[in-house]
Structure 1
């Protein structure tokens, strides 16, 4: 009996040591409320201020995957993948005007449950994309971010749709919304597959057009 207890104790100690080895002592655990707060601050940091906002309601939506967070040089860096989209609300649908999908480092100050976004670090383009992520992220998070595929974007897109549904009670349209800021003239265009040749033959079709007036200030 004593032998069994001794063996069991050794197994438990080994398991605990493995768990401890998998977590870096510099890692910071974030609450759901802290993640929600820093996401809202990221969205508010660069509000959409293009011409469409003079005519219609426009909102930016950010959805994050959080890889982890660490203390660094007196701040807490949060390592995330951000799917960001600017959407315009027209009639019963939301149309995406612009968007981005990339890893970011969020530099924050954290005190208790309070989190304050101080700075945002972006990856570089082209050949510097991978190396810049390796410079921005700890090694284990950099490898994960560089290896991300369409599955992550699809998951974040689903969260984005849920946010739009909650705020505007409408779905995202796949059609293209284009506005002339000088005249207020707009078109909504749909990309369709003609299919008459038996192969993929994509064409555009205008499904609505008109003229908008600027919102009263």
Structure 2
């Protein structure tokens, strides 16, 4: 093998190694669970999603959102939240049976401005054949499987949603 070919192969190898190492460190600040998410942040996320979809489905008496946080990344005044979201529209006449809504993984970026958090990015996976690959682009690898496992299985989120709806129905008789 010529020196030129050897040099090129070495260069390609070093570039690939560097890119793999940087990819491995991309989410090095990922924190599992919701320990970095305050109740204020939780509410900002839910309010944003309710407002975003308020007119996206058929008209209902009240809309709610609940979520399960897989983890977060970021520091300072910016935080990416990797989560599963359940949004639903409800009518008093149907009780806790959602009349519209969705359940899906989402990436939310929160930024603190003037002492308060706001959503500056909201991303959902693409539909159809692009669903799984788009989740891989949105989430750190360790949350991709969790999101796949939660697909079609809301578990605790349904109970959390029912509680919100029941409280609303009690207060608004």
TM range (shorter): 0.5 to 0.7
For residues 124 and 150 of structure 1, do their structure 2 counterparts lie closer, same or farther at Cα, with a shift above 3 Å needed? closer
User: Do structure 1's residue 71 and structure 2's residue 86 form an aligned pair?
Assistant: no
Please tell me whether the aligned partners of residues 67 and 157 of structure 2 are also in contact (alpha carbons under 8 angstroms): yes
Distance 1:163 1:154 in 2: 15
Note the C-alpha offset of 1:94.
4.9
- Unmatched runs of 5 consecutive residues or more in structure 2: 1-26
Count of matched residue pairs: 141
Deviation string 1:134-192 (CA, Å, 9 cap, x unpaired) is: 100111112221222555x121011111001111129xxxxxxxxxxxxxxxxxxxxxx
SS at 1:96 equivalent: coil
Which of these residues, 123, 126, 136, is aligned with residue 125 of structure 2?
Answer: 123
Q: Which residue does 1:46 correspond to in 2?
A: 53
Distance 1:111 1:52 in 2: 33
- Unmatched runs of 5 consecutive residues or more in structure 1: 1-22, 171-217
For residues 84 and 41 of structure 1, do their structure 2 counterparts lie closer, same or farther at Cα, with a shift above 3 Å needed? same
Distance 2:112 2:81 in 1: 11
Larger Rg: 1
For residues 110 and 132 of structure 1, do their structure 2 counterparts lie closer, same or farther at Cα, with a shift above 3 Å needed? same
For residues 149 and 34 of structure 1, do their structure 2 counterparts lie closer, same or farther at Cα, with a shift above 3 Å needed? same
Distance 1:137 1:70 in 2: 10
For residues 88 and 49 of structure 1, do their structure 2 counterparts lie closer, same or farther at Cα, with a shift above 3 Å needed? farther
Query: Which structure shows the higher helix fraction?
Result: 2
Please tell me whether the aligned partners of residues 70 and 82 of structure 2 are also in contact (alpha carbons under 8 angstroms): yes
For residues 162 and 48 of structure 1, do their structure 2 counterparts lie closer, same or farther at Cα, with a shift above 3 Å needed? farther
TM-score (norm 2): 0.68
Which of these residues, 98, 106, 109, is aligned with residue 108 of structure 2?
Answer: 106
Q: Which residue does 1:20 correspond to in 2?
A: none
For 1:1-217, what aligned pairs fall within 5 Å after superposition?
Answer: 24-27=28-31, 29-48=36-55, 52=59, 58-71=61-74, 75-90=78-93, 93-110=95-112, 114-148=116-150, 151=153, 153-169=154-170
Distance 1:158 1:33 in 2: 21
Distance 2:142 2:114 in 1: 26
Note the C-alpha offset of 1:128.
1.4
Distance 2:79 2:59 in 1: 36
* C-alpha RMSD of matched pairs (Å): 2.9
Note the C-alpha offset of 1:123.
0.4
